[in-house]
Structure 1
Amino acid sequence: MGNRHDDTGTPRLSRRAFLGTTVAAGGITVLPVPPAVAQTPGAADSAPMPAAAGEPGRPGAPNAPVTLTVNGQRHQLALDVRTSLLDALRETLHLTGTKKGCDHGQCGACTVLLNGRRINACLTLAVMHQQDEITTIEGLERGGQLHPVQAAFIAHDGFQCGFCTPGQICSAVGMLREVADGVPSHASADLSGARTVSLQDLSEAEVRERMSGNLCRCSAYPNIVAAIRSAAGSQR
């Protein structure tokens, strides 16, 4: 079909002819760029990206002054308020003896002592412990002498790859204190506290139950239990 004419005799482009002309010309319609969007060449590369709110290490991150007492030393730090105690120890203070295993509180590799009590460092924030005494595996020895539990682990070969060992030792130190304080376990015959378990009669079943939160992928459990019972005997 060709062009049509209106009543005045002026040629009028038909719809089909218009579409054909548009396709032949490339079918591209160029729209003007709004002034607010228009950029000069290279502007996208040079323009700074807006800082994500609260992203660590970038402007706007919620850093705060934090004072931690670790192994008897006070440390003045500036930390993202969301930093776990584990990350503060490893990444900021470089106390890498405390290991990051599962980072979900399931393996016990990150166990440290908080005021003498064992905790998973991956499950708590550093800013929560500014008034506490934190002890890591590096702080157990005194005057160049190994802690009795450390010495027992060596004597009884209580480790293989060694990855879980710092957490095992810290947990064992805390656990022996619990026994000395008369804290029962699910393996204790008397849970009322009237008849407590002592370090002198700490059985294999008691050790296994009390240490069940610390996993050893190498399965060195028999030697770990023997080491802990030996250390308990030396602390009577």
Structure 2
Amino acid sequence: MLRVDSLCAYYGESIILKDINFTAETGKVTCLLGRNGVGKTTFLKSVMGLVKTPKGSVYLNNEDITQLPTYKRAQKGIGYVPQGRDIFPQLTVYENLILGLERSNYKKEFVEDEIFELFPVLKTMLKRKGGELSGGQQQQLAIARALVSEPEILLLDEPTEGIQPSIIQDIGRVIKKLKARGNVTMLIVEQYLEFVMDVADYFYVMDKGRIVLNGKVAEIDPKKIQEKIAI
């Protein structure tokens, strides 16, 4: 679904990503772990075309999208939930969700019931403004809005950050439901190792802009991941 070859990214003169090679298999959940400041968010932004990448390539379904602008990448099927959620606080929950239809030029005029099956709490809050929701509810809204666009691959940047445990469990259940359906690939940046071990099929660990460990979650001792994250 997604392949990144020898990708480099810069902020000014600073090299943030150094020759990153990465794959996310179709229908699977791949998690990228690492301490704060090692380049995880920059990697997601690079995939979305929000950061300049003077070297390397990004492929979606074997198509080179490296030179495409962000909106074209979204149209190709990439959904993105950034760190901080970026919902519109003055719009209602329903209005936020409807914005997810923009990728298809509003060919559909309503939000599918499937979204409310995944996030039942949102159905009870459709008329409330996004800014009135709790942090966990806003995170659910941000993920739901991305799913409304029916992406082929969903990028989630630290979906559990600052979220209460019960909603972390709810988000985990949604991820596993989506994985069971097999119609959306997920790439998740995460620091909560227990969450990764619960939902992911594959993992990558990043440190100082490089991949230092990767493999199948089922075949790795979590302590080995923890050792890399703690360096």
Scaled to the shorter chain, the TM-score interval is: under 0.3
Which one has the bigger strand percentage?
Answer: 2
User: With CA pairs under 8 Å and 6+ residues apart, which has the higher RCO, 1 or 2?
Assistant: 2
Which one has the bigger helix percentage?
Answer: 2
Structure of higher CA gyration radius:
1
What is the TM-score normalised by the length of structure 1?
0.25
What is the TM-score normalised by the length of structure 2?
0.25
